[in-house]
Amino acid sequence: MTTPQYWLMKSEPDDCSIDDALAAPEQTVPWTGVRNYQARNFMRDAMRVGDGVLFYHSSCPEPGIAGIARVASATRTDPTQFDPKSAYFDKASKKEAPRWLLLDVQALRKTRVLGLAEMREMPALEEMRVLQRGNRLSITPVTKGEWDAVVAQLA
């Protein structure tokens, strides 16, 4: 039994919002489109079923945390890398050695949006990975302290 871990996962709401995830079967969506090795390695090497996920809306009018979710599966091959019609197609990825993985994310509840500006005002989030200058990772680790502070702020 390992201690639960916490993550923040960015999604463009035009692509998959917290509402979309809640409306999916079992409130679960395959997290397609991760095309960054560091983020992939988090999924493959560190994320475990049951880990907490802050569901973050990016590239939208109101960026911020929009819901709470959980990791719902281990990793498997992301099929969109082999689909020439997909925006996530990767012509350099070979079937016999897929580069990209996904895992399932289960939405648990929608929250009010905890916006970026409000997050930056929270002392408990001062060192939060996603808020660091220049961060572009779509999946970042969240400490228990940060998780608790976010959940309390949303309550």
Partner DNA sequence: GCCAACGTTGGC
Question: Interface residues with DNA (CB under 7 A)?
Answer: 10, 35-38, 58-60, 63, 92, 116-117, 133-138
Q: How far is the CB of 75 from DNA (least distance, A)?
A: 17
DSSP 8-class letter at 32: -
Question: Shortest distance, CB of residue 36 to DNA, whole angstroms?
Answer: 5
Tokens of residue 83, six digits: 């689909």
In the DSSP assignment, the letter for residue 132 is: S
Q: Which CB atom, from 49 or from 112, has the smaller least distance to DNA?
A: 112
C-beta of 109: minimal distance to DNA in Å? 21
Q: Pick the closer one to DNA by CB: 58 or 77.
A: 58
Angle at 147 between CA 18 and CA 76, to 5 degrees: 55
25 vs 95 by CB, closer to DNA: 95
In this structure, are residues 100 and 81 in contact, taking their beta carbons and an 8 Å threshold?
yes
Residue in 77, 67, 70 with CA at minimum distance from that of residue 11 = 67
Least separation, in Å, of the C-beta of 63 and DNA?
Answer: 4
CA distances from 61 to 76, 91, 101, 153 (A): 32, 32, 29, 21
Nearest CB to DNA, comparing residues 19 and 38: 38
